[in-house]
Amino acid sequence: MNIRLYNARILSMEENRDIFFGEVWVKKDRIVYAGDGTDTDSIYQKLQIPCMIWDREIDCEGNLLMPGFKDAHTHSGMTLLRSYADDLPLNDWLNQQVFPVEAKLTDEDIYELTKLAVLEYLTSGITAVFDMYLTPYSIYKAFDEMGMRGVQVGGVNNFSQSPELLEEYYLNLNGKSPLQSFMLGFHAEYTCSQELLMKISEIAHKYKAPVFTHLSETKAEVEGCRERYGMTPVAFLDSLGMFDYGGGGYHCVHVTEEDIAIMKKRGMYAVSNPGSNTKLASGIAPITQFLKAGVPVALGTDGPASNNCLDMFREMFLVTGLAKLKEEDAAAVDAMEVLKMATVNGAHAMGLGEADVIAEGKLADLIMIDLKTPNMQPLNNIAKNIVYSGSKINVKMTMIGGRILYENGSFLTDEKPEAVYEKANDIISKYK
């Protein structure tokens, strides 16, 4: 499909570029033009066609186009456990409620449950997700069939998956679909033996690849690691050479200054999950310290069992709001910084450098924000409106790889939502 989006405000998220008025042209899965629409003749020439034939021309009516949000940490298949066991202490929740159900899930269950998550991502303008869960092949299939850009990450630990499987996934799940990729990773320090971690580090060195993991999410995790190895999780994993080719940590709530220095040195990303950290009472991540140290921060929803929603608007408000509370400073972490976390930084963390901004040659992963809703008015400052006042209600269109998958409240995915809901409810009734 070739699609012309015109009469739009455009927040390209390129460095130092203000919102401008103009159009975005999409040819197949790429952006071939993003500009003010006045120099289009030369563009037609450059594209070597006398006049672009459009499959669709969309009048954006002054609404905003921006890069889609990148959900840089999630467990999509956990939609099953949304509101299944809330308001419980963390240990009870995990050991008595989550793990016993997860142990019974089949590949097919997770395939269906992942599709439910995809529908929700689309409603929140999320165009790519960084997903860690149990069954990479069926998750790959679900993302690909739904049209979702999925970057999966290994979740190996003492109880499931293995270094061999991790390597197999890495080799099998990259380079096959334009929408799917796989990165090295493991569940967490506290669920992996040192021997296992060393094998993962070896694989990272073999492929010169970055590694991602749950990192310093809770106080107890850090204390446990100190007892086991006399080091924080960041320092211990780094001592194994785990991050010699970069990577990052999910959560990163309880990190020290030394941890932050290591993360900076290794080119690591801090993927913050403020919604989950709030609901599970894990704490507030030191966002300002990461930014000061030059460690890029990305944002993720975490899985729907712990958050419970897959909504980047919630995460955006919380990442700055909680920083303001933590530092007792209403000026902490400004809105543009937050938008960068939710788009550009997420894309870079996930190896999606071609899906970071709206610009010629980039992947057409973009969204339209409805500005004609009461929560976006008046138009004092659109970027701040999105971060502080935005909601799923504002997502007018979600496009991934040039394909519009959600528009004006309707899903244009191949599988219809009613079928997905029915299957999810069937699955939960099996385990209740």
Residue 408, both tokens: 């004006």
Instruction: Using the minimum distance from each CB to a second copy, give the nearer residue, 201 or 276.
Output: 276
Closest separation between CB of residue 269 and a second copy, Å? 23
Instruction: Using the minimum distance from each CB to a second copy, give the nearer residue, 125 or 401.
Output: 125
Closest separation between CB of residue 321 and a second copy, Å? 4
Instruction: Using the minimum distance from each CB to a second copy, give the nearer residue, 82 or 199.
Output: 82
**Could you tell me if 23 and 33 are in contact, meaning their C-beta atoms sit under 8 angstroms apart?**
yes
Closest separation between CB of residue 280 and a second copy, Å? 5
Closest separation between CB of residue 69 and a second copy, Å? 15
Instruction: Using the minimum distance from each CB to a second copy, give the nearer residue, 46 or 430.
Output: 430
**Could you tell me if 54 and 27 are in contact, meaning their C-beta atoms sit under 8 angstroms apart?**
no
Instruction: Using the minimum distance from each CB to a second copy, give the nearer residue, 49 or 88.
Output: 88
Q: Please report the sign of the dihedral spanned by the C-alpha atoms of residue 101, residue 106, residue 107, residue 112.
A: negative
User: What does the alpha-carbon distance between residue 352 and residue 66 come to, in Å, rounded to a whole number?
Assistant: 16
Closest separation between CB of residue 106 and a second copy, Å? 16
Closest separation between CB of residue 87 and a second copy, Å? 4
Instruction: Give the CA distances from residue 301 to residues 17, 18, 353, in Å, rounded to whole numbers and listed in that order.
Output: 27, 27, 21
User: What does the alpha-carbon distance between residue 67 and residue 264 come to, in Å, rounded to a whole number?
Assistant: 26
Closest separation between CB of residue 114 and a second copy, Å? 12
Closest separation between CB of residue 302 and a second copy, Å? 12
Closest separation between CB of residue 117 and a second copy, Å? 7
Instruction: Using the minimum distance from each CB to a second copy, give the nearer residue, 35 or 283.
Output: 283
Torsion angles phi and psi, residue 228, rounded to 5: -70, -45
Partners of 156 in beta bridges: 186
Instruction: Using the minimum distance from each CB to a second copy, give the nearer residue, 230 or 378.
Output: 378
Instruction: Using the minimum distance from each CB to a second copy, give the nearer residue, 135 or 277.
Output: 277
Instruction: Using the minimum distance from each CB to a second copy, give the nearer residue, 258 or 329.
Output: 329
User: What does the alpha-carbon distance between residue 228 and residue 351 come to, in Å, rounded to a whole number?
Assistant: 33
Instruction: Using the minimum distance from each CB to a second copy, give the nearer residue, 177 or 391.
Output: 391
Closest separation between CB of residue 395 and a second copy, Å? 8
